[in-house]
Amino acid sequence: MNQQLTGLHHVTAIASDPQRTVDFYTIVLGLKLVKLTVNFDDPTTYHLYFGDDLGRPGTILTFFPWPKGRSGQIGSGMTGRVSFSIPIGSLDIWADYLLGHLVDLGAQSTRFGDRCLSLSDPDGMVIELVESCTIEEPFESSTIVSRSHPIRSLHSVALIENDHETTGQMLTRELGFRLIDEESGLFRYAIGDDPGASFVDIEEDLTIRPGRQGVGTIHHVAFRTPNEQSQFLWHQAISGLQVNVSPVMDRQYFRSIYFREPGGVLFEIATDPPGFLIDEAPDKLGTSLQLPPQYEEFRSKIEASLVPLQLNPALV
């Protein structure tokens, strides 16, 4: 295809307790709750969106909270981690800060020349902070550390595969990625021509067993496309591969199509527009429950089924 995907749009994961998830990602990591809505396929469940102050595509991590859900198991055909970009020189500051908040930290490491810090969220999902950007502007955040050393955007995801080649071929031949580096069984693919763009890593493990979706695991990875016309072309192209691709779905803040790569990871291609400002002003993002039009008549019943949330965390 002549067009390209332009980066990661969002990553969606499964949590357990919605209040604990809101507290961790806003109070501890300093992300903004940019949209409080429901799972459009199950409106009795929240869908929580976290990102930068305007909810820009490429900064978004979302969660389906399943309070009674079973824990997942990481394995092949799953996304094993999601990484965020932080300013160069801030990793040690973040490490000290997170230790002070009793966050479960992994070891610091260097991958493809970037310093990385691994940590686990309250449900055990692996997150990584990667030194890979410079501070461009002040950042409004609930934490002192994230104001001066903010999480800027999604940096990368790591797919766990028994065979990196079949997935890699789809990334390069069909989706326009480029294989740019290889390191100790890890293969890095870049999206587009921007050297600072987001990446997809494939971690090859020939012996790992298939994973199990559940609490503490990543549900799907979404890539950006500029508009509905380009998404239509992607839908045609992927359908031509004899891949089972969903129809276009209206997710209120973007339009989406879904399909699985050869190893089993669920991919989404999502449009940048219309964005998260269509129903809330920038200073009101994430402050009240937003429902798609088809559910508005059931608002009272839906609100009664949801656990009340405290959405005004104190500064840390």
Per the structure block, which two tokens stand in for 230? 């380009």
The domains of the chain are located at: 8-305
pLDDT tens, position by position, 129-158: 999 876 555 555 555 576 678 898 999 999
Q: How much is the pLDDT for 238?
A: 96
pLDDT, averaged across the chain? 92
Q: What string of DSSP letters covers 145-210? A: HHHHS---EEEEEEEEES-HHHHHHIIIIIS-EEEEEEETTEEEEEESS-TTS-EEEEEE-SSPPB
Alpha-carbon span 141 to 288, nearest angstrom:
19
Instruction: Say if residues 46 and 36 touch (Cβ distance below 8 Å).
Output: yes
Sheet holding 8-15, edge to edge: 32-39, 42-51, 60-65, 8-15, 218-225, 266-271, 255-260, 249-250
8 within 8 A of 198, measured Cβ to Cβ = yes
Q: Are 292 and 312 in contact (CB under 8 A)?
A: no
Strand partners, 14: 64
Closest CA to 23 of 34, 33, 13, 12: 33
pLDDT score for 315: 40
pLDDT digits (tens, 9 = 90+) for 222-262: 999 999 999 999 999 999 998 999 999 999 999 999 999 99
CATH architecture of 8-305: Roll (3.10)
DSSP-based three-state secondary structure for 230: helix
Q: pLDDT band at residue 192, thresholds of 50, 70 and 90?
A: low
What order do you get walking across the sheet with 153-161 strand by strand?
105-111, 114-120, 126-133, 78-87, 153-161, 199-204, 186-191, 177-183
Tokens of 283: 């200073």
Closest CA to 227 of 248, 254, 191: 254
Residue 3, pLDDT score? 75
Cα dihedral across residues 211, 14, 16, 53: positive or negative: positive
Percent over 90 (pLDDT), the chain: 86
Does the pLDDT at position 203 exceed 50? yes
Contact (Cβ atoms closer than 8 angstroms) between residue 259 and residue 305: no
Stretch 287-305: mean pLDDT: 96
